[in-house]
Amino acid sequence: MIRCENLSKTFRRARVLDGINLDIALGERIALIGSNGAGKTTLIRCLLGEYIHDGTVTIDGRSPRTERTAVLGNIGFVPQLPPPLKMPVGQLIEFSAALSGADPSHIDAIAGRLGLDVSDIRARPFIKLSGGMKQKLLIAIALGRDAKLLIMDEPAANLDPAARKIFFDLLAERQQSATMLISSHRIDEVASLVNRVIEMDMGKVVLDDKVADDVSLSGRFTCRLVSRRIDPALAKTLGTWKFVADASGLVWSGDVAGPDRLRFIGMLSRYVALIGDLSLHEVVE
Amino acid sequence: MKQLWLTARLDIVESLRARWFLIYTAVFGGIVALLFLFGLTESRVLGFIGLSRLLVTYIQLTMAILPIFVLITTVRSVAGDREAGVFEYLLSLPVSLGAWFWGKILGRYIVVFAPVFLAMLAAVFIALIKEIEVPWGMFGYYTALLATMALCFLGLGMLISSIARSTDMAQGAAFMTWLVLLLFLDLILLGVMIQGRIAPEIAVGIALANPLQVFRTAALALFDPQLIVLGPAAYVILDTFGVLGYKIFALAYPSALGLLAAGLGYFIFRRGDLP
């Protein structure tokens, strides 16, 4: 689906992409990882036809630069930083839906599933929304059309655990029909979402590996955690994961989305001295 | 066409919510209000009286304000949007580069021209209510002149935005452009000519090429074509072209310059990196 041949990009004298060769097939879920300045964003911009470059990039055999509308009509993109748009939310939805031939009500519905009621904020300028609301709306716009390629730059970074769970469910629904390219500077953020990892460094692909595809995007774990004592910071954090405590305030329980378990454990590592007991069981549905 | 109009509408909505637009509208609305308030329609200067006097003063002030306003706000918003990541996101949507660029120009043209025109239209309405005679010919030609002026400087602004890679650079270039045009106005050329540093033909040529001078000559010359009012280069130009010829030139040349600059800007925009 995506083919990059000897793709290079130079800014003045700095070579940001250096002879990238990639073949990505339909249905692959790729983590594009690498430290800041590795070339991830530049690669994404080349795929979106936004940068001129040496070498070739084709998506379904077409150039994203010269056949923009045909290629971009099949791509849903979520940027890392939301653009500072002053237009009202309603107009942003209408504008993107009209350009990509999507149904605005479908975007509204996806935003609703992510916990964002568009009818409440339709007249509000996009720039005035909170970080999480912006992220949810941009995800809804990207997933609200029949995109065959989803390019997402740190898509879940601003989402709360509940919204992340729904986001994973939404991705699971598109698993067979779309290719996903998820960029992050941390592998643990996206590892459980993907079946292939591409690591970049200094403009080159330094690792291109298939990973075990056993994690279900829509899977779920029940968790039980016993705290040695009542700790407000731990309680607050578990609250954001929608965990509830028993009467003693020491035993917590809740659900964790399958792809989020690594993140959850990473979060718990901050409170490791407080944890007396911990169990995670996969829910078989 | 649908993409072009969608982009234009988007730019209009973005501009209407921007602070610069509020200031811009307030400035031109304020000028008309102040001119009426100070009883300019009752005064007589250089042969103008009534609404003619007000309109000629209004267009002189507009000539001083509009070019720099259009240049700076255009480069600030276009280069600023690029820097802030607006281009990265909106250009990831399936919109053609032609529809995007020309749609942006169309949208900006409407928001730039509408306040100056509506302020002048408001002056005409007030005049009608106050039973002051309206010089319709002058009003019509000034409207065309304002439309041309907006197009000319919008085109230059879009060209600068396409070339400059940062907001600071774009603002600096826009300001320098305006300053150069200002330096080569007729009265300054006169000083250079008196010192014998340039030939009169060159001075006239520079005055003809300078859109600011073209507007100034057109606004004044048609109604009071005296040497003392016009300056020497403009006087020669008007003498050579004739009133009708110059009227046509003053609309055709800046429009062509603006469209040429915008066309060149588009050429550079589509050949380079977008965000």
Per-residue pLDDT at B41: 61
d(CA B70, CA B207): 21
Q: What is the pLDDT of residues A133-160, one digit of tens each?
A: 999 999 999 999 889 999 998 887 778 8
Sheet holding A251-257, edge to edge: A244-245, A251-257, A220-227, A275-282
Q: What is the pLDDT of residues B216-273, one digit of tens each?
A: 888 876 666 665 555 666 677 777 777 788 888 889 999 999 999 999 999 999 998 8
Residues of chain A with C-beta less than 8 angstroms from the C-beta of B274: 49-51
d(CA B105, CA B74): 9
Q: What is the pLDDT of residues A202-241, one digit of tens each?
A: 999 998 988 766 666 777 889 999 999 999 999 999 998 8
Is A84 within 8 Å of B86 when comparing Cβ atoms? Answer: yes
Per-residue pLDDT at A73: 92
Low-confidence ranges of chain A (pLDDT < 50): none
Q: Check if A61 contacts B (Cβ < 8 Å).
A: no
Per-residue pLDDT at A257: 85
Per-residue pLDDT at B221: 67
Nearest residue in A to B86, CA atom: A83
d(CA A203, CA A7): 10
Residue B86, both tokens: 């607006």
Q: Which CATH class is domain A220-282?
A: alpha beta
Nearest residue to B92 via CA among A48, A277, A243, A177: A48
Q: Give the minimum alpha-carbon distance from A105 to chain B in angstroms, rounded to a whole number.
A: 18
CA B110-B126-B145 angle, 5° bins: 40
Q: Is A146 exposed, middle or buried (0-12, 13-18, 19+ CB in 10 A)?
A: middle
Residues of chain A with C-beta less than 8 angstroms from the C-beta of B90: 83
Q: Check if A73 contacts B (Cβ < 8 Å).
A: yes
* Residue B242 Rama label (left phi>0; alpha psi -120 to 50; beta): left
Q: Which CATH class is domain A2-210?
A: alpha beta
Per-residue pLDDT at B243: 78
The two domains A2-210 and A220-282 share their CATH topology (first three levels equal): no
Per-residue pLDDT at B42: 62
Domain borders along chain A are: 2-210, 220-282
Of A51, A75, A99, the CB nearest to B95: A99
Does the pTM exceed 0.90? no
Q: Check if A126 contacts B (Cβ < 8 Å).
A: no
Nearest residue in B to A53, CA atom: B273
Q: Give the minimum alpha-carbon distance from B62 to chain A in angstroms, rounded to a whole number.
A: 28
Q: Give the minimum alpha-carbon distance from B56 to chain A in angstroms, rounded to a whole number.
A: 37
| Mutation for A interface: B73, B82, B88, B97, most A CBs within 10 A | B88
Return the H-helix or E-strand segment holding A245.
strand A244-245
Low-confidence ranges of chain B (pLDDT < 50): none
Residue A61 corresponds to which amino acid? G
Q: Check if B6 contacts A (Cβ < 8 Å).
A: yes
Nearest residue to B78 via CA among B5, B174, B147: B174
Residue A173 burial (CB count, 10 A): 13
d(CA A147, CA B1): 23
State the ipTM, two decimals: 0.81
Per-residue pLDDT at B108: 93
Per-residue pLDDT at B33: 83
Residues of chain B with C-beta less than 8 angstroms from the C-beta of A51: 273-275
Per-residue pLDDT at A78: 94
Per-residue pLDDT at B85: 86
Per-residue pLDDT at B159: 95
Report CA-CA distances (Å) from B205 to B63, B247, B250: 20, 17, 14
